[in-house]
Amino acid sequence: MSVHLHWFLPTGGDGRTLVDRHAYTDGGIGRSGITPVSGVRAPDIEYLAQIAKAAERLGFEAVLTPTGTWCEDAWLTAVALAQQTERLKFLVAFRPGLISPVLAAQMAATYQRITRGRLLLNVVTGGDSTEQRRFGDHLDHDRRYARTAEFLSVIRGAWGGRPYDFDGEHYQVEGGLTALPPDPLPEIFFGGSSAAAGPVAAEHADVYLTWGEPPAQVKEKIDWIRGLAEERGRTVRFGIRLHTLSRDSAQDAWATARRLLDDLDPETVAAAQQALGRSESVGQQRMLALHGGSRDRLEISPNLWAGVGLVRGGAGTALVGSHADVADRIEEYHELGIEHFVLSGYPHLEEAYWFGEGVTPELAARGLLAQAPSAAANGRPAPGGAPLLFAGGR
């Protein structure tokens, strides 16, 4: 079982700060609860192309493109960047309920052909009713997961090559199909920590994706999903979403983490925590519980730092330390059964190089990568298929 490394495209903006330029307080429309910060980089196509090209050069298999109000559209951004890269795959995030599953199946099939199999599809159920209503979706949390289960049934049926009928609570389809199904058919990744999410993962996911909790909690999730899948006669693989802050020495890495923390004033943290606390996402509430809104004792497990989650929604923890330290933690998660690591860091361009030139060679030396990073950088195909990722979009 090899480690698969993926990076992140900050389509909502980037910079040398943890301050998430998504919404706090007033829904983010006026951004009155965010202290102005310097060093913010707009997510223009030229800058995102730099990150995508760096990720490809450094041997990452794919980049995750998030979805939401404060991000550029994931489909359009990814197809533009696919024209500027050769091997890099794109984890394109979108939400069931906002698009027909048959249309999504057709879009995915077309995208696979245009990019020669470089699409990974990230289906986001959504854990924030305010955000969902902004897009016209008024289902509650549990019904959204029920709809996602139907969505995945329909999208697989439409890829079957024959007219497909489906009569569910949320979708009624007659003769749904894609004239030319995607080849290869994408795998499905799924993320969700609630009781409503577990059965969907067990029934539909090829890979279950979790945010970066301490290893013991991650093991509990793995055991939970694995057990549910076994009851259904299925096998599920696992992935994790984390930030990284890797340096030549642990001292330098932790100094950078302290600098990021020093940039956060109490008002910004309080506004972020208030907004994030309203989320219906069980995974988000688990992220908040790791630090409780406090700056004290943010190293919640060796080299696992919860400072990111003070102001950022979604993935809120980072692996911090020397390159060997970070490789140790990745190896620890890998021993629990984690294969896919979806990573990011602030700023995303520089941190891609810190990780790719520091941690990736460590992992290769330990035999954890299917292909040495130098091989990917020299133009030979990167490892891995073209999975359909189903998880939280950030």
Lowest-confidence segment of 259-263, 292-296, 334-338, 380-384 by average pLDDT = 380-384
Q: Report the pLDDT value the prediction gives residue 355, as an integer from 0 to 100.
A: 98
Q: Report the pLDDT value the prediction gives residue 354, as an integer from 0 to 100.
A: 98
pLDDT in tens, 207-235: 899 999 999 999 999 999 999 999 999 99
pLDDT band per the 50, 70, 90 thresholds, residue 374: low
Task: Spell out the residues 6+ positions from residue 143 whose beta carbon is closer than 8 angstroms to its own.
Answer: none
Q: What is the pTM of this model?
A: 0.89
Residue 201 has pLDDT above 60, yes or no: yes
Pairing of strands 338-344, 4-8: parallel
Query: How much of the chain exceeds pLDDT 70, in percent?
Result: 89
Average pLDDT, the chain: 87
Residue 335 has pLDDT above 90, yes or no: yes
Query: How much of the chain exceeds pLDDT 90, in percent?
Result: 63
Q: Report the pLDDT value the prediction gives residue 295, as an integer from 0 to 100.
A: 84
Q: Report the pLDDT value the prediction gives residue 381, as an integer from 0 to 100.
A: 39
Q: Report the pLDDT value the prediction gives residue 19, as an integer from 0 to 100.
A: 65
pLDDT in tens, 147-168: 999 999 999 999 999 999 999 9
Residue 389 has pLDDT above 80, yes or no: no
C-alpha 97 chain-centroid distance: 19
**9-29: average pLDDT:** 66
Residue 146 has pLDDT above 50, yes or no: yes
**Within a 10 A sphere around the Cβ of 192, how many other Cβ atoms?**
29
- List Cβ<8 Å contacts ≥24 apart for 359-366: 359/244, 359/246, 359/323, 359/326, 359/327, 359/330, 360/5, 360/58, 360/59, 361/323, 362/323, 362/324, 362/326, 362/327, 363/3, 363/5, 363/327, 363/330, 363/331, 366/327, 366/331
pLDDT in tens, 99-116: 999 999 999 999 999 999
Handedness of CA 74, 67, 10, 36 (dihedral sign): positive
Specify whether the CB–CB gap between 229 and 236 falls below 8 A. yes
- 41 backbone φψ class: left, alpha, beta (φ>0; ψ -120 to 50): beta
Best-predicted range by mean pLDDT (3-12, 64-73, 91-100, 284-293):
3-12
pLDDT band per the 50, 70, 90 thresholds, residue 38: low
